[in-house]
Amino acid sequence: MKIVVYLGTGGVGKTSVAAATALSRARRQADKSLVLTIDPALRLRTALNLRERTLEQVVPLVPPGKGELWAALLDVRATLDDAVNMYAKKGQADRILNHPIYAQIADSLVGMQELMAVERIDQLSRRGFEYIVVDTAPSRHAIEFLDKPMAFADLVGSGWVKLVGRTYQFVARTGMMSLGRKSMDLYARVESLLGANLVQQVLDFYSIFVSIAEGYARRAEKTVALLKDPAITEFRVVTTPQKALRDARFFFSALKERGFPLGTVYVNRVWPHDASGAGGAPGLESDVLAWYAGVRQSHLHAIEELRKEYSGQPVSILPLAELDRDVDGLDALERIASQLG
Amino acid sequence: MSVQSKIVVFCGKGGVGKTTLSLALALKHARAGRKVVVVTSHPIPELAVSVSLEGLAASDPAAAANLFVVHFDPRDLLAELVRKNFPVEWVAKAVLDSHIYKSLIEVAPGLKEFYFLARLQQLAERKAKAHAAAPDFDLLFWDAPSMGHFLSTLHSARSFETFLSGPLAVAGADLAHFFSNTSRITVFPVATLEEMAVAETVEMCRALEKDYNLASAAVIMNMVSPLSKATDKQMAELRASASSSAVLRFALERAELERKRAAELLIGVSTRPVAVERVKGWRSDLDLLEEVGKSLQPLSEML
């Protein structure tokens, strides 16, 4: 199995490049290739046949590829619901799903998207997908994708959460006395700060959620081990000329800190045509040509700077041309795929 | 001088240029002698690697003295609250270090966002300082997080009424009231003329108006081509000469897409547009901010 993880900030075309990568694999290799996307534009969503809430969809290719192209949408809430239904103890699933805290947790718990991506990779790897392309959240924080599952495992594994999880029902009847004097004192202070209602709700939620969280933490540990294996996982960055140097520096060092190599930086949306020497009729036409030439020049300059910075290092820096229209269908993805190298 | 600072919000999808626009407009006002602060959603070290004000202190010390950039880390804000409530240092530390506290603030829905808003309000009402040496500001620019998080931040003031029973519940109602008043808050949604950015901006503007009573003052179309100003006649002329030039064809194709997207945006948000042309090249970030600032005069006139 191979996993390709795309990192990048907003507006760089990461989802399109990720989809084109899976497409390119399906064209060349006789296996099941899948792109896991987060929030594709409507037209791309249609092109990828993404209608169902959680299930992977096969994308019909004309002409057919050697392998199959599949696409799936990472829906945080739906993935979490699935995990609850699949792993919660008997009778607990409904209590979790209907809990007022649960209703908000999918949106508000920091890094929930990253946690669910890891959960989803685990599910997919067990369904026979040999090539999985992951499109992460459009932010520099997406790199925490690699830390969050562990932080979450620590949190649910902590003695206190286990204690609350297991004893809350008992404690709810007998009062906080059973927590011990020091914990009780702290509890009272936190409660006075946040209000009793909120604290009760959160504790109650932990008490029923802890059982599935423990199972989640075990699976996450396995998946993160796959992501940490350079023979299986490759990290790539998508950026634009304006942000190229800064994004590359950031992701390069953030990956290095965590012990991962950075494979490729795609500098996307580079204006494609050479404009030097284009004069044009005076007035608007020559203004537009001069403007185009200026922007194109700054794009080339940015790539040159990036290559200089990483010369001699095992990072490929590859430009991808901006298309003259929206990425609105498979033919646009084919055009990107042909440039991927 | 008014007794409170006006809050100016730049909001929209990630990557549309909110930070650059916030800094450009702030710089313009700082140069004009007003005291301004930019509250950014990026941690400062990260901001420094996106757009920087490097060189300002040397080239224009007066403007540099008027311009502040701050980032609130919600965790620090909450820690501050704990310290205020438990003035004895070891008690505060015991609470902050406890698993009880850590697990609760991580999972409590919207708590950090709620505190962020409260801090923004205090800063605008001049009940708090950005830091000890900071002056009272005339204008407060909020470089908002990308759309989803921005709306959930605004929402936190309300959702908290349902959860909170402690001292924070009262603050929630006040906060919700504060952040639904366009006499204090000027909202500038930012979009680039692309499918996703336009669709998200339309959705965001509707939510702002319907749920928060915040009508947008103007919508910014960022990084447009010089052809956005062209008349239909000029476009037709260019099309005639485009057959011989791949560059011109590319520019025209994109300009036509932009015009289509601009029309969709303006139907969707029904507010006045302000176009900011894509800068064709710059030597330093300050140059870029200066250049962008020139297109922002219509916004300055609304503040």
Closest CA to A321 of A257, A262, A271, A246: A271
**A237 found inside a domain:** yes
ipTM (interface predicted TM): 0.85
Cross-chain Cβ contact A160/B103 below 8 Å: yes
Q: How confident is the model at residue B1 (pLDDT cuts 50, 70, 90)?
A: very low
| Predicted pLDDT of residue A275 | 82
Average pLDDT, chain B: 87
Q: Measured between CA atoms, how close is B291 to chain A, in angstroms?
A: 14
CATH number at residue A119: 3.40.50.300
| Predicted pLDDT of residue A169 | 46
| Predicted pLDDT of residue A56 | 87
A279-305 mean pLDDT: 90
**Chain segment B245-303, per-residue pLDDT in tens:** 899 999 999 999 999 999 999 999 989 999 999 998 888 889 999 999 999 999 999 99
Q: How many domains are contained in chain A?
A: 1
**pLDDT higher than 90, residue A316:** yes
A32-40 mean pLDDT: 89
Place of tokens 């009940």: B127
Cross-chain Cβ contact B106/A109 below 8 Å: yes
Taking CA atoms, what residue in A is nearest to B169?
A195
| Predicted pLDDT of residue B198 | 95
Q: Which domain holds residue A82?
A: 2-145+220-337
Cross-chain Cβ contact A326/B249 below 8 Å: no
Lowest mean per-residue pLDDT among B9-23, B118-132, B227-241: B118-132
Per-window interface: B 20-79 vs A, CB < 8 A: 46, 49-50
Cross-chain Cβ contact B159/A104 below 8 Å: yes
SS (H, E, C) chain A: CEEEEEECCCCCCHHHHHHHHHHHHHHHCCCEEEEEECCCCHHHHHHCCCCCCCCCEEECCCCCCCCEEEEEECCHHHHHHHHHHHHCCCCCHHHHHCCHHHHHHHHHCCCHHHHHHHHHHHHHHCCCCCEEEEECCCCHHHHHHHCHHHHHHHHHHCHHHHHHHHHHHHHHHHCHHHHCHHHHHHHHHHHHHHCHHHHHHHHHHHHHHHHHHHHHHHHHHHHHHHHCCCCCEEEEEEECHHHHHHHHHHHHHHHHHCCCCEEEEEEEEECCCCCCCCCCCCCHHHHHHHHHHHHHHHHHHHHHHHHHHCCCCCCEEEEEECCCCCCCCHHHHHHHHCCCC
**Measured between alpha carbons, how far is B114 from B106 in angstroms, rounded to an integer?**
13
**A255 found inside a domain:** yes
Q: Which two tokens stand for residue B292?
A: 């962008």
| Predicted pLDDT of residue A126 | 87
Q: Measured between CA atoms, how close is A175 to chain B, in angstroms?
A: 16
**pLDDT higher than 70, residue B139:** yes
Q: Which two tokens stand for residue A73?
A: 């949408």
**pLDDT higher than 90, residue B207:** yes
* Dihedral sign of CA atoms A184, A186, A188, A190 in order: negative
**pLDDT higher than 80, residue A157:** no
**pLDDT higher than 90, residue B205:** yes
Contact between A271 and A296 under an 8 Å Cβ cutoff? The reply is yes
| Predicted pLDDT of residue A184 | 65
Q: Measured between CA atoms, how close is B22 to chain A, in angstroms?
A: 17
Instruction: Among B43-57, B98-112, B193-207, name the most confident range.
Output: B193-207
**Measured between alpha carbons, how far is A40 from A14 in angstroms, rounded to an integer?**
10
- Taking contacts as CB-CB distances below 8 angstroms, the residues of chain A near B248 are 278, 280, 285, 288-289
**A291 found inside a domain:** yes
**pLDDT higher than 80, residue A167:** no
**A316 found inside a domain:** yes
Across the interface, which of B104, B106, B192 has its CB nearest the CB of A190?
Answer: B104
Q: Measured between CA atoms, how close is B101 to chain A, in angstroms?
A: 6
Give percent of chain A with pLDDT exceeding 70. Answer: 79
**pLDDT higher than 70, residue B163:** no
Give percent of chain A with pLDDT exceeding 90. Answer: 35
Closest CA to B277 of B220, B203, B213: B220
Average pLDDT, chain A: 81
Q: How confident is the model at residue A164 (pLDDT cuts 50, 70, 90)?
A: low
Give the other-Cβ count within 10 Å of B244's Cβ: 9
| Predicted pLDDT of residue A306 | 95
- Taking contacts as CB-CB distances below 8 angstroms, the residues of chain A near B199 are 41-42
**A206 found inside a domain:** no
Cross-chain Cβ contact B226/A284 below 8 Å: yes
| Predicted pLDDT of residue B73 | 80
Q: How confident is the model at residue A188 (pLDDT cuts 50, 70, 90)?
A: confident
Count CB pairs under 8 A between chains A and B: 185
Cross-chain Cβ contact B165/A196 below 8 Å: yes
**A157 found inside a domain:** no
Q: How confident is the model at residue A232 (pLDDT cuts 50, 70, 90)?
A: very high
Across the interface, which of B165, B234, B247 has its CB nearest the CB of A197?
Answer: B165
Across the interface, which of A100, A101, A190 has its CB nearest the CB of B95?
Answer: A190
**pLDDT higher than 70, residue A159:** no
- Taking contacts as CB-CB distances below 8 angstroms, the residues of chain A near B197 are 11
**A152 found inside a domain:** no
Taking CA atoms, what residue in A is nearest to B237?
A285
Greater confidence (B103 vs A78) lies with: A78
CB-based contact (8 Å) between B146 and chain A? yes
**pLDDT higher than 50, residue A172:** no
**pLDDT higher than 60, residue B193:** yes
**A132 found inside a domain:** yes
